[in-house]
Amino acid sequence: WRREKVESLRHNFAEKYPEDDVTCFIVSGNMFFDKEILMFRYKELQAYEPLQKLSKVQIFLRPVKHRRYIIGADPAQGIPITSENPDYSAAVVLDLETREEVLAYRAHVLPQIFGQDLAEIAQTYNNAQIAVERLFEGGTVIQTITGECRYWNIYKHKDWWKKDLKNSKEFVGFPTNQRNRPMALNRIRWYLANYPDMIYDKFFIGDAMTFVFDAKGKPQATPGAHDDTVMCRAIAHYVRHVRLGLFDPSAAPRKERYGATPTEFMAEEEKD
């Protein structure tokens, strides 16, 4: 019976007949990430334990002297932590050269606490650069990092769509908007498809399974689910691309001039 159902339903079998507590949450509709890769990696991680697991942090790899790291951070978006389904403040630390995840952060904390924690993590990982989503509570997180903690290595963004690039200014933090968000999400989708073995966070796998295209074609978390661990990784991989010189936001080709969108340009640069 099972073999016949797998053959007839194919990729929809896990949705119709879930086999564990993860596949039962796979939603119908068009998933943003590859379902088969997510399921395979989730099963691989069942036997995996982080080097250290704390209330807020999972440590996968210790910092290595002279290596460079980057932190992508997505603050909770203003929903009180006492509410029924509050957002998480989430962050991930990547090895800049290898892309490998070395630490994951996820907690219900106030933005000031999140900023303090990020500064401490960054100092531990060789003064890593912090890229914080700047909208909503992100301003408070950035102010805490730069003002209270006096931490200097924070990402500054320069918009590629400004008409006058010579006079455009850098500003602190990562702007998640209709221009940058698709490029950032495409980076983490490409990363999952090509390097799933460098992802160790089960929380991310769970969030990615409920990250879908809505009725208007916008990728986002299904109602009641969270996208915090997804977005912090999207930011980290976007900024990593910039840091390595593979993409310059202020000099990205415009489609009407070069025949390619910035997203397509980033994909070609990665292949090279």
The predicted-structure confidence for 260-272, as pLDDT tens digits, reads as follows 444 444 444 444 4
185 closest CA partner among 159, 211, 151: 211
Measure the CA–CA gap between 87 and 107, rounded to whole angstroms.
9
pLDDT score for 237: 96
In the chain, which stretches have pLDDT less than 70? 9-16, 18-29, 78-85, 160-168, 250-272
Q: For the segment 194-212, what is each residue's pLDDT rounded down to a tens digit?
A: 999 999 999 999 999 999 9
Closest residue by Cα to residue 12 from 222, 29, 211: 29
> What is residue 25's predicted lDDT score, i.e. its pLDDT?
55
CA distance 131 to 154: 6
Put the strands of the sheet holding 129-132 in their side by side order.
Answer: 52-53, 57-59, 101-107, 89-95, 69-74, 129-132
User: For residues 107 and 55, is the Cβ–Cβ distance under 8 A?
Assistant: yes
Q: What is the pLDDT of residue 24?
A: 59
Query: Taking Cα atoms as reference points, which of 198, 197, 235 lies closest to residue 70?
Result: 235
DSSP-assigned letter for residue 86: P
What pLDDT sits at residue 91? 98
Contact yes or no for 144/116 (Cβ under 8 A): yes
Count other C-beta atoms under 10 Å from residue 225's C-beta. Answer: 17
